[in-house]
Amino acid sequence: MRTTEGHLAPQAGPDRVGPDRVGRDRAGPDQVRGEQIGPDLADIVSRLRRAMRRAARAADPALGLSVAQLELLSCITEHPGIRPGQLARMLRLAPSSVATLLGGLQSAGYVTRTPGADNDSDRRTVSLDLSEEGAQAVSRWHRVNEDIIRAALAELPHSDRAALRNAAPALRDLTASIDAQAD
């Protein structure tokens, strides 16, 4: 069923808590006006990520990098000189998984390793940076994502665009809060 604005109306079910089931004094942190927003928001974010990945692959199939590779490159962009162990901890991945991803990205010319960058006495340490090709891949990926969002927003009614613009600060705060849980 759709609302008058064309949105899907929430359906009652075992994972939904309607206003008739929850009193104001029992509202938890994931409830607004007695309705749970956590499950809906988690579902929306999951679907949005999946839709963005599909649209990005369709928009730029030549990029040829996996989401995991692009996330790793983006992390190196945000933390130039990071060490592989730090990168694994930051991404919550097994060090061997990061090593495998890095090996492929280095072979393809996206990542450079600088030995002994942190401590000249320990030659085992390496710092990671993006090559010019790696930086271009990250920029291209971000541009493709921005173009996808821009095109999708253009199809929405003004009221939805305004609601999304107004929600942006709260979504940034939510992202920071979720990131903090991983630390």
By DSSP bridging, strand 35-36 and strand 31-32 are antiparallel
Give the span between the Cα atoms of 127 and 79, in whole angstroms: 10
pLDDT of residue 25: 42
What does pLDDT average to in each consecutive run of 10 residues of the chain (183 residues)? 47 42 51 76 94 92 88 95 93 93 96 75 80 96 95 97 96 92 81
pLDDT tens sequence across 98-109: 999 999 999 999
pLDDT of residue 123: 59
pLDDT of residue 118: 53
Q: What is the dihedral of CA 92, 96, 101, 105, to 10 degrees?
A: 120
pLDDT of residue 122: 59
pLDDT of residue 30: 66
DSSP state of 2: B
The fold of 42-56+65-182 is Arc Repressor Mutant, subunit A (1.10.10)
DSSP state of 9: P
* pTM (predicted TM-score): 0.71
- What is the widest separation between alpha-carbon atoms in the chain? 68
Instruction: Say if residues 76 and 87 touch (Cβ distance below 8 Å).
Output: yes
pLDDT of residue 27: 56
In 3-state terms, what secondary structure has residue 31?
A: strand
> What are the sequence ranges of the domains in the chain?
42-56+65-182
Give the span between the Cα atoms of 170 and 175, in whole angstroms: 9
pLDDT of residue 8: 47
pLDDT of residue 21: 39
By DSSP bridging, strand 31-32 and strand 111-115 are unpaired
Give the span between the Cα atoms of 99 and 93, in whole angstroms: 10
Give the span between the Cα atoms of 131 and 3, in whole angstroms: 49
| Residue 6 CA: distances (Å) to CA of 9, 43, 160 | 9, 19, 10
Comparing CA positions, the residue from 88, 107, 106 lying closest to residue 97 is 88
pLDDT tens sequence across 45-63: 999 999 999 999 899 988 8
